[in-house]
Amino acid sequence: MIITLRPHTNTKDKEELKARLLSLGVVIHESTGENYTILGLVGDTTGIDARSFEALPYVDHVTRIGAPYKLVNRLFHPQDTIVDVAGVKVGASEPMVIMAGPCAVEDREQLEEIAQGVKQAGARILRGGAYKPRTSPYSFQGLGEEALDLLVQAKQITGLPVVSELMDENQLELFEEKVDLIQIGARNMQNYALLKALGQTKKPVLLKRGFANTIEEWLMAAEYLASYGNPNIILCERGIRTFESATRNTLDLAVIPIIKKRSHLPIIIDPSHATGDWELVESAALAATAAGADGLIIEVHNHPEKAKSDGAQSLKIDNFTLLMEKCKAIAPVVGRRL
């Protein structure tokens, strides 16, 4: 951590600050330049709140050198984490894992047709929403527990583990029982009550990036899970909010090499929410594969035009099948297979 003092800071203020810093257990390296004096702090600064020093009128700004996360930091854990989702392994040294299924579970027939279809095309985990975060209170909010039961049945039939989004910590027990991979949605990435609750289980978590959160904030959300005890975390990029409105979000594929450098956690891509338009999903999914993703999560529907939510971004089963063929061809170029 580097603290830059404003020009003309008096000695008394500087010495008081240094005494306070020393009491936090760090070593101080001081450099005096033409205009600014800088204090370099050496030692473990993870627990130090950089902003508290910015309250001092003679501090110009504070710059963090090391990352504020430890448990999810590759620097301290060089080996790739492999997350085991009911037997399906997700992570860098494993084959890519495709998760697919409807935005929302609507009924048994719908779910089973889609589950069989995506399995046949190569998907290895079934997705399906039970509780849906909808912008409007007047939109379909999901079938709830009934949907979870339908997912359990679909799993029995197809053998595919299931992933579904948890929105309410009071349903955690239910999800622990019925779901193999619990999704934290983009809107809840900084819902710390939920993160803390989930951190106290060992259930694998699919942690979506908030649509306006930085990579550092995302890794800090993962650090919440890890520091509360749950190391089974898969990160998922699903697009960020920008000024461009031609797509629902802007897919930020640079997160793949960046996450791989900074963290040991697996990273998968959601091209459906990123683009919001089924006609753009294939291009984005292939790009994610070429960019080195550990997996994909894709919305697939048997009748998108009748879907109760997000039909506009759902692939039909046959288009999904064609996409899988192309992914299988691209993956080996970047040292992976499906």
State the minimum distance, in angstroms, from the CB of residue 266 to a copy of itself.
16
Of these, 116, 247, 319, 321, which contacts a copy of itself (CB under 8 A)?
A: 247
Q: Which is nearer to a copy of itself, 161 or 210 (CB)?
A: 210
Is-contact 301 314, C-beta < 8 A?
A: yes
Q: Please, what's the b/e burial string for 254-268 (b: 16 or more CB within 10 A of its CB; e: otherwise)?
A: ebbeebbebbbbbbb
Binding mask 52-71 for a copy of itself (x = CB under 8 A): xxxxx------x-xx-x---
Q: Which is nearer to a copy of itself, 92 or 330 (CB)?
A: 330
State the minimum distance, in angstroms, from the CB of residue 242 to a copy of itself.
5
Positions 204 through 243 that interact with a copy of itself (CB under 8 A): 210-212, 214-217, 220, 223-224, 227-228, 240-243
Beta bridge partners of 297: 99
Of these, 38, 86, 152, 174, which contacts a copy of itself (CB under 8 A)?
A: 38
Q: Using DSSP, state whether 164 is helix, strand or coil.
A: strand
Of these, 25, 159, 229, 257, which contacts a copy of itself (CB under 8 A)?
A: 257
DSSP 127: E
Of these, 19, 22, 42, 322, which contacts a copy of itself (CB under 8 A)?
A: 42
d(CA 205, CA 96): 17
State the minimum distance, in angstroms, from the CB of residue 26 to a copy of itself.
9
State the minimum distance, in angstroms, from the CB of residue 108 to a copy of itself.
21
| 124 contacts: CB under 8 Å, gap ≥ 6 | 88, 97, 98, 99, 160, 161
Q: Which is nearer to a copy of itself, 46 or 116 (CB)?
A: 46
Which listed range, 89-97, 105-113, 130-138, 149-157, lies at the site for a copy of itself (CB under 8 A)? 130-138
Side-by-side strand order, sheet with 59-63: 27-32, 37-42, 2-5, 59-63
State the minimum distance, in angstroms, from the CB of residue 156 to a copy of itself.
29
Q: Which is nearer to a copy of itself, 15 or 54 (CB)?
A: 54
Is-contact 171 184, C-beta < 8 A?
A: no
d(CA 294, CA 288): 9
| 23 contacts: CB under 8 Å, gap ≥ 6 | none
Of these, 44, 145, 173, 318, which contacts a copy of itself (CB under 8 A)?
A: 44
Positions 80 through 99 that interact with a copy of itself (CB under 8 A): none
Positions 132 through 191 that interact with a copy of itself (CB under 8 A): 133-140, 167-170, 187-188, 190-191
Which residue matches tokens 């197809």? 158
Number of residues interacting with a copy of itself: please give it, by CB under 8 A.
108
Reduced DSSP (H G I as helix, E B as strand, rest coil) percent helix, strand, coil of the chain, to 5: 40, 20, 40
d(CA 312, CA 327): 22
State the minimum distance, in angstroms, from the CB of residue 161 to a copy of itself.
25
Is-contact 305 107, C-beta < 8 A?
A: no
Is-contact 199 227, C-beta < 8 A?
A: yes
CB-CB neighbours of 47 under 10 Å: 9
State the minimum distance, in angstroms, from the CB of residue 87 to a copy of itself.
29
Positions 258 through 297 that interact with a copy of itself (CB under 8 A): 258, 261, 274-280, 283-284, 286-292
Pairing of strands 83-85, 97-101: unpaired
Positions 304 through 333 that interact with a copy of itself (CB under 8 A): 304-314, 326, 329-330, 333
Q: Which is nearer to a copy of itself, 86 or 258 (CB)?
A: 258
State the minimum distance, in angstroms, from the CB of residue 244 to a copy of itself.
6
The single-letter code of the amino acid at 330 is: I
